[in-house]
Amino acid sequence: MHALTAVFAADILSPELGLLFWQFVVFILILWLLSKFAWKPITGALKEREDSIENALKSAEQAKLEMTRLKADNEKLLEEARAERDAMLRQARQTADGLIEEAKNKAAAEGNRAVEAARQAIQQERQAAIQDIRQQVASLSLEIAEKVLRGQLKDEAAQRTLVNRMVEDSNLN
């Protein structure tokens, strides 16, 4: 048995020339079949896969650039919106301050007009009161003078003396 195994092992280890030829032919045939039917589709699929990966990477890079650009645009728009908001707030404050100042000025002017109108009304009332007092004083003075004159001019001699004095005074003026 040892001899058989040794012969069989020797056959495997040193094959015959014909076996080598057919192994070589089969290897070339398999190599040709693989190159004709398997490697071209496999390499085509690999090339197609490589191209799609490369296109995806390019698209991703473009998307990244676009996102960066959009982010910059958004920041710019936000900054413009903030500036516009600040300008609107400043304008609103200025408008409110202007309205408050205008209201104060109107109130002061209206108050001054009311005070002036009250002064004029008081002045008119005062003038009217003075005029009324003057009329009353004149009326009372005439009544008093009339009573005094009646009392003094009861006799005829006093009446003549008074008339003569009045005539003299009227000639002098």
Write out pLDDT tens, residues 41-82.
888 888 999 999 999 999 999 999 999 999 999 999 999 999
Residue (of 3, 70, 165, 131) closest to 123 by Cα position:
131
12/6 Cα distance (integer angstroms):
10
| Contact criterion met (CB below 8 Å) for 159 and 150 | no
pLDDT band at 160 (very low <50, low <70, confident <90, very high): confident
Structural domain range at position 69 = 2-160
Q: Is 169 within the bounds of a domain?
A: no
The angle subtended at Cα 28 by Cα 27 and Cα 33, nearest 5°, is: 100
Question: What residues have CB less than 8 Å from 15, skipping those under 6 apart?
Answer: 23
65 belongs to a structural domain:
yes
Which of 88-97, 133-142, 158-167 is most confident?
A: 88-97
Interhelix angle for 156-172 vs 40-152, to 10°?
130
| Of the candidate ranges 15-29, 73-87, 115-129, 133-147, the one whose mean pLDDT is the lowest | 133-147
> Is the predicted pLDDT of residue 11 greater than 80, yes or no?
no
57 phi, psi to nearest 5 deg: -65, -40
User: What does the block give as tokens for 7?
Assistant: 């012969």
Question: Is 41 part of a structural domain of the chain?
Answer: yes
- How far is the C-alpha of 85 from the C-alpha of 79, rounded, in Å? 10
Examine the pLDDT at 1 and tell me if it is beyond 80: no
On whether residue 167 sits in a domain, the answer given is no
- Per residue in 22-31, pLDDT (tens digit) is 999 999 999 8
Average pLDDT over residues 116-122: 92
Structure tokens at 69: 């650009």
Res 54: pLDDT? 95
Domain assignment of residue 172, yes or no: no
CB-CB contact of 152 with 158 (8 Å): yes
**Alpha helices, H only, the chain:** 2-13, 17-33, 40-152, 156-172
- pLDDT: which is higher, 6 or 147: 147
Percent of the chain, pLDDT > 70? Answer: 90
Query: Alpha-carbon distance 141 to 149, whole Å?
Result: 12
Cα of 10 vs its chain's centroid, Å = 99
Q: Is residue 165 part of a domain?
A: no
In a domain, 171, yes or no: no
Q: What is the pTM of this model?
A: 0.39
In a domain, 143, yes or no: yes
Domain count, the chain: 1
